[in-house]
Structure 1
Amino acid sequence: MTAPESPAPAPTPGPRLLRRVRFPGQPSLYDVALADGRVTEVRAHTPEARTDGGPSADLEGRVLVRGLRDAHVHLAQWAVVRRRLDVSAAGSAREAVRAVQDGSAALPHGELVTGYGFRDGLWPDAPHKRLLDALPDGRPALLISADLHTAWLNSAALALLGEGGHPTGVLREDACIRATARLSGVPAQTLDDWVRDACEAAARRGVTGVIDFECADNVTDWERRTAVGPPPLRVAAAVYPEYLEAALARGLRTGSPLGPLLETGPLKLFTDGSLNTRTALCHDPYPGISLDDPEAHGLARTVGDELVAVLRRAAAHGLTPAVHAIGDRANELALDAFAEAGCVGRIEHGQLVRSEDFGRFAKLGVTVGVQPSHAVDDRDVADQHWPGRTARAFAYAGMLAAGARIELGSDAPVAPLDPWLSIANAVARTDDARPAWHPEQRLTVAQALAASTGGRFTVRAGDPADFAVLDADPLTAGDDVLRRLPVHGTLLAGAWSHRES
């Protein structure tokens, strides 16, 4: 393993006492004492507050909350996307091609054009390789959908894969993942630098932890990165089935420490695909698709006895299963499998759920990781492809009322890695001038903030000293302020990972 020449910068040393802080919704001032990376005392502020001989920080009445945690990211892909051509505004395949033509003009001759963010679920025309073949100089092009489940390639890019004869250039699900990995890979050191930049940007938004669901040898990649220096946030590195045997051979369990601020995450499994790709597994067929089509209801991946067997094996070895389920049939099958396997775990996304299944999350001890930005980004696609069912789509309030434990995430790069956008979208259920979409499924700010901070945002003695220091009170901020809420500083294990000068 070759490490970069320069070690990662060390975090800025932190204070032993945070003076004059407020907590959300409270006018009183408090002092928070820290030692060995944890909170030792929370007490009413007094001017003569003791510092136990260490440095203190006067936060001048700013609001202190527990550090924010994004419960679902793909960090390497997010790091790369931050350097890709954005085609998310395209309203048709032809508009996407024009965006690629404009954005690729400055690239060196023959260099691969990589774009991201297209959503073809509502397009009047279909993506096809011949449209992208219009790029000048026969330039290869790869466009990745916003949901990461579809890749659109032109003939030159297909030739690089040895698939020049592919009829459309549109690859879905596993074929998409393989093509993206082969065509858009960068040297490990370069990628690691980009990932660290992305983590530092997240720290500037108050993030102190993530679950990284990158579809790769995630444990090995993160052990390589932390060998250079600790990351600026806590990382739980998910394991995928192809790396399960290696994890079991090492005796890894969810929560096992792997390095500074790094631990083993859950085992990621898939029951279905996605809404925009029309592969989310549903009870009802997709409009306009023949019932003779084997995927009229979506795509079933790991389900039934196969899923039960994997859940049992993972749980027996201490690995928490995290099951991707988007359609209502997929969520039902995932919950059935948890019930039969007799283990707890997570369901990732939970976008369309039968009302009678809301209460099963709590009954079975299954956490649901949701991404509120998807609710506002996909509302039109959901209205078209899940007609008559959207009252139970992205049903955060309904699931929470039924006792489910909800954790918020971004699914970056599907949405930006910014917890305040997730919180604002959970609260507003809109991000444009239109009224809230199914406002009965809104969360309160307090509920959304708690779902972003490990279940509660208040600070108590014994907590890890992971905090976000805010220049506005989120409980009283309007939607616009909440969406761009100013973060004065972020502390990780008592040290500053970000602080405004």
Structure 2
Amino acid sequence: MSRAEEPVRRGEDGVAVTVSGSVLLSGGRLLGSTQLVDVLVRDGRVVSIAAAAAGRPGGSGGSDGSGGPGVSDGADEPERVELGGRTVMRGLRDAHVHFAQWALARQRLDVSGARSAADTVALVVARLRDRPLAPGAPLIGFGFRDGLWPDAPSAAMLDDGLRAAGLPDTPVVLVSGDLHCGWLNVTALARHGVVGHPTGIMREQEWFALSEAISAVPTPVLDAWVDEAARAAAARGVVSVIDYELADNLVAWRRRIDAGADALRVAAGTWPEHLDQAGLREFATGDVVPGSDGLLTQGPLKVISDGSLNTRTAFCHQVYPGLEGTTAPHGVLAVGPEELTRLMATATRFGLTCAIHAIGDRAVGLALDAFEATGARGSIEHAQLLAPADLVRFAALGVVASIQPEHALDDRDVADRHWPGQTGRAFAYADLLAAGAELVLGSDAPVAPLDPWLAIAAAVHRSRDDREAWHPEQELPLDVALAASTGGRAGVEVGDVADLAIVDVDPFDADDATLRAMPVSGTLLAGRWTWCTLTR
């Protein structure tokens, strides 16, 4: 590897900063405080926090323009932005996204509200009536969840619906809300070389084999949609994500950043098929990629070890009701223990941490076994159903529980049906915390929206409608949920990299509805505005 290609090593706080210039955030409040302060950002870091002096709008600054005691340090006059008492906190991080899929989902027909297969067909028909497609063009929808449906989806049902409505023969592909399943009509199946499929419902590996081709759009179009989605995330206070898109993410994001994408920091996850290439690149997890202005780092190895709850493929000790006598009554183990251990050992040798998708309790136990056998560091992604004996193993092995609290609300009813009698240990966030596990929060976008405020509210309140909280004993304290969404600490301190969010309501003063819809007035990435509605 040439010197030009050597990875840029992380600073003490793990963040590279290349921004110059300064901004004074005047008359704001720190998280959980009522005192007005001025926060000075210079060259990408917070260099001072001082009590705001009286006499300026928002209560800050003196007539000499010094910005209050300790703010003026003799450098050039900073850009001054009046916060009017808004709260300054560290920017938000989403620890699990599939970014291209999220960008694509934002462009697709939303079928997430369907409560049956028939409802879904009606949404497809309405869309094709209202906005006809060019001949032969496919209709792609996203978000169906059939775990509670009273009727069974099928390819024939889609085709019959189109014919009954007098619509032309159209390839229809519907992607499940958990990304582990696709529902195709006969025309779409034939387009992708599948003939005689019994149902048109494709799950797990059968679906994954087609999903890349189904999602293919021209690279410039996809990159534009990704940049749009990234800027929408910045508008929610997001400063960084870990991207587990099923792609060579390092290459994709280098291309996007070279083209001007600069709204987020991205840790690029690596999949097993790209593991050897990751070894050749010699980037360890956390290394900053040269030429990315500090925006791109090498992420973990990602392995999907089992399926999902909604497709009844999460690998569990207990048999799923109704699947007795089938080929997969316990769910699906996609990667066996020997192969998982081999992959994790290789990743560890290359300097990569490991992010292991494990949802069912049996899969989680096997993943923890692999961490123990290899000495790997990293996370279990999702950890939705846990055997009680495995709770303490997270802390003992130093394995992070990477959780997506909005899934608990999406799945509460399907969990009650398909994990009956076990939901006291499902989405067991408080139990993990009590056992000493480190928690990080994410969305799994597009499975849930890329909006950490939704995840925080779900973790704290365990409800989003008029129903009682679901297993409220598993609620997290707000300070824990905030810390798990901001890299371990939500409060701002002198010396921090200025990856900041400015919110209109202090989260500690917000009710559930306000927390979920938290108004964000500004987001800074190393002191550079990526979103701002404030007067500047």
Coarse TM-score class (shorter-chain normalised): over 0.9
1:168–1:470 CA distance, 2 compared to 1 (3 A): same
Asked if residue 255 in structure 1 is aligned to residue 286 in structure 2, the reply is: yes
DSSP 3-state at the match of 1:384: helix
Shift of 1:463: 1.3
Written as runs of structure 1 = structure 2, the 5 A alignment for 1:358-397 is 358-397=391-430
Residue 126 of structure 1 corresponds to 152
What per-residue deviation string (whole Å, max 9, x for no partner) do you get for residues 234-265 of structure 1?
00110101111111111121112222301111
2:434 to 391, 401, 416: 401
1:462–1:114 CA distance, 2 compared to 1 (3 A): same
Shift of 1:164: 2.2
Residue 267 of structure 1 corresponds to 301
Asked if residue 54 in structure 1 is aligned to residue 82 in structure 2, the reply is: no
Aligned residues of 1:12 and 1:497 also touching (Cα < 8 A):
no
Amino acid at match of 1:432: D
1:110 to 136, 140, 146: 136
Residue 433 of structure 1 corresponds to 466
What per-residue deviation string (whole Å, max 9, x for no partner) do you get for residues 288-308 of structure 1?
112x33310010122312211
Residue 7 of structure 1 corresponds to none
Shift of 1:320: 0.7
**Deviating more after overlay: 344-353 vs 33-42:** 33-42
Amino acid at match of 2:247: A
Written as runs of structure 1 = structure 2, the 5 A alignment for 1:63-462 is 63-105=87-129, 106-108=131-133, 109-134=135-160, 135=162, 136-258=167-289, 259-260=292-293, 261-290=295-324, 292-462=325-495
Residue 10 of structure 2 corresponds to none
Aligned residues of 2:19 and 2:526 also touching (Cα < 8 A):
no
Amino acid at match of 2:107: R
Q: State the distance in 1 between where 2:206 and 2:50 align.
A: 56
Q: State the distance in 2 between where 1:297 and 1:34 align.
A: 54
Shift of 1:19: 2.1
Identity across the alignment (%): 52
Asked if residue 477 in structure 1 is aligned to residue 510 in structure 2, the reply is: yes
Runs of 4+ displaced beyond 6 Å? 11-14
Structure 1 residues without counterparts, runs of 5 or longer: 1-10
Residue 498 of structure 1 corresponds to 531
DSSP 3-state at the match of 1:475: helix
Tell me the TM-score normalised to structure 1 length.
0.95
Shift of 1:12: 11
Amino acid at match of 2:33: Q
DSSP 3-state at the match of 2:332: coil
**Deviating more after overlay: 22-31 vs 77-86:** 22-31
1:13–1:143 CA distance, 2 compared to 1 (3 A): farther
Alpha-carbon RMSD: 1.5
Tell me the TM-score normalised to structure 2 length.
0.89
**Deviating more after overlay: 102-111 vs 67-76:** 102-111
Q: State the distance in 1 between where 2:51 and 2:208 align.
A: 53
What per-residue deviation string (whole Å, max 9, x for no partner) do you get for residues 345-381 of structure 1?
1110010011221111111111111111100010000
Residue 29 of structure 2 corresponds to 22
**Deviating more after overlay: 384-393 vs 246-255:** 246-255
Shift of 1:313: 1.2
Q: State the distance in 2 between where 1:184 and 1:311 align.
A: 28
Amino acid at match of 2:226: V
What per-residue deviation string (whole Å, max 9, x for no partner) do you get for residues 378-408 of structure 1?
0000000001110010011110111111111
* Equivalent residue pairs, number: 490
Aligned residues of 2:21 and 2:44 also touching (Cα < 8 A):
no
DSSP 3-state at the match of 2:508: coil
Aligned residues of 2:22 and 2:43 also touching (Cα < 8 A):
no
DSSP 3-state at the match of 1:122: coil
Residue 5 of structure 1 corresponds to none
Asked if residue 36 in structure 1 is aligned to residue 43 in structure 2, the reply is: yes
What per-residue deviation string (whole Å, max 9, x for no partner) do you get for residues 428-452 of structure 1?
1111110000000011221111110
Aligned residues of 1:13 and 1:496 also touching (Cα < 8 A):
no
Aligned residues of 2:96 and 2:445 also touching (Cα < 8 A):
yes
**Deviating more after overlay: 404-413 vs 176-185:** 176-185
Q: State the distance in 1 between where 2:37 and 2:267 align.
A: 32
Aligned residues of 2:145 and 2:177 also touching (Cα < 8 A):
yes
DSSP 3-state at the match of 2:50: strand
Shift of 1:13: 8.7
Q: State the distance in 2 between where 1:429 and 1:187 align.
A: 40
Aligned residues of 1:67 and 1:490 also touching (Cα < 8 A):
yes
Shift of 1:232: 0.3
Q: State the distance in 1 between where 2:89 and 2:332 align.
A: 41
1:411–1:148 CA distance, 2 compared to 1 (3 A): same
Aligned residues of 1:239 and 1:267 also touching (Cα < 8 A):
yes
Q: State the distance in 2 between where 1:177 and 1:308 align.
A: 22
